[in-house]
Amino acid sequence: MARLVRQTIQILEMIKFSHTLFALPFAIMGGALAVSRPGVVIHGIKPWAGILVCMIGARSAAMAFNRLADRHFDARNPRTATRHLPSGTLSAQSVTLFCLMASAVFVCGTAIFLPENPWPIRLSIPVLLWLGGYSLAKRFTSMAHVWLGLALGMAPAAAWVAFRGELSMPPVLLGLAVTCWVSGFDILYACQDYEFDQRAGLHSIPARFGIARSLNLASILHFLMILMLIGVGVQMPMGAIYFGGVGAVAILLLYEHSLVKPDDLSKVNQAFFQVNILISTGLLLMTIADLWLL
């Protein structure tokens, strides 16, 4: 029993379970925007439980598969050689089993929306295939960062569809905002592996264009994120609290980019983890406050 608990803790560390906070707030935000309009298909606690289960299952499966797919590259990269799989702390068999279980949790989570809304379970396998495809994308395209962005960008749109059974402009814009946000900070993070990616023949924006140009591209993507968030506010429409939250996100993104320099990547982790969690959770709270108070 103690061994099982220890292995479970190690797997959760491997997939960085706490980083679910990156995407989960935007999924909840998509659901909150959906229920603020008339015509909701499913009411009560049921859809919220479904969103939570699906987010945990999907992200866990995607991260486990990513670690499996990249374990041989991770072993050759000094930055990642101490991860659980290349170091031997976890076996490929145990991670594979966890990945299959997490995938099953995701599919079962989409069944929560039945019978009122069949779309989540219909789309569950295509979504899983897209999430798994990201782990292989770096082998053939430098657009892998955008692939990851779209993977997380689906979360708010999927939450909207889960509540309403249809898609409209606000969740599409919110999904694009998340896509730009994630693509941008993944480019920042990938700058750490610029030299390794070039040696290993892996495709990434930094490996293709260099660090300086990559930082500029990440800035453009984050500027587009702000435009998309403004579009969400106009389309809904939202009030002053929401737009104040968007302004705060813009300031946090400026701070994030101030931490990362072409000749100094020592603060990438601070920019990646701390600032981005503030962005997602902060905007969610401001959105809920706007919907509730205004």
Tell me, what's the pLDDT at 56? 94
CB 272, CB 255: distance < 8 Å:
no
Q: Kindly report the pTM of this predicted structure.
A: 0.95
Tell me, what's the pLDDT at 211? 96
Q: For residue 14, is it within any domain?
A: no
Number of structural domains the chain divides into: 1
Q: For residue 5, is it within any domain?
A: no
Q: For residue 4, is it within any domain?
A: no
Q: Report pLDDT digits (tens) over 156-201.
A: 999 999 999 999 999 999 999 999 999 999 999 999 999 999 999 9
User: Across all residues in the chain, what is the average pLDDT?
Assistant: 94
Q: For residue 15, is it within any domain?
A: no
CB 163, CB 31: distance < 8 Å:
yes
| Structural domain for 280, as ranges | 22-285
φ/ψ of 261, rounded to 5, equals: -120, 155
Q: For residue 264, is it within any domain?
A: yes
Tell me, what's the pLDDT at 184? 97
Give percent of the chain above pLDDT 70. 99
State how far the Cα of 97 lies from the Cα of 94, in Å rounded to an integer: 5
Q: For residue 47, is it within any domain?
A: yes
Q: Report pLDDT digits (tens) over 13-65.
A: 898 877 777 789 999 999 999 999 998 998 889 999 999 999 999 999 999 99
Residue 29 sits in a domain whose CATH number is 1.10.357.140
Pick from 121, 119, 153, 124: which is nearest to 41 by CA? 119
pLDDT of 135 strictly over 80: yes
Q: For residue 3, is it within any domain?
A: no
CB 260, CB 188: distance < 8 Å:
yes
Pick from 221, 293, 242, 284: which is nearest to 31 by CA? 284
pLDDT of 204 strictly over 80: yes
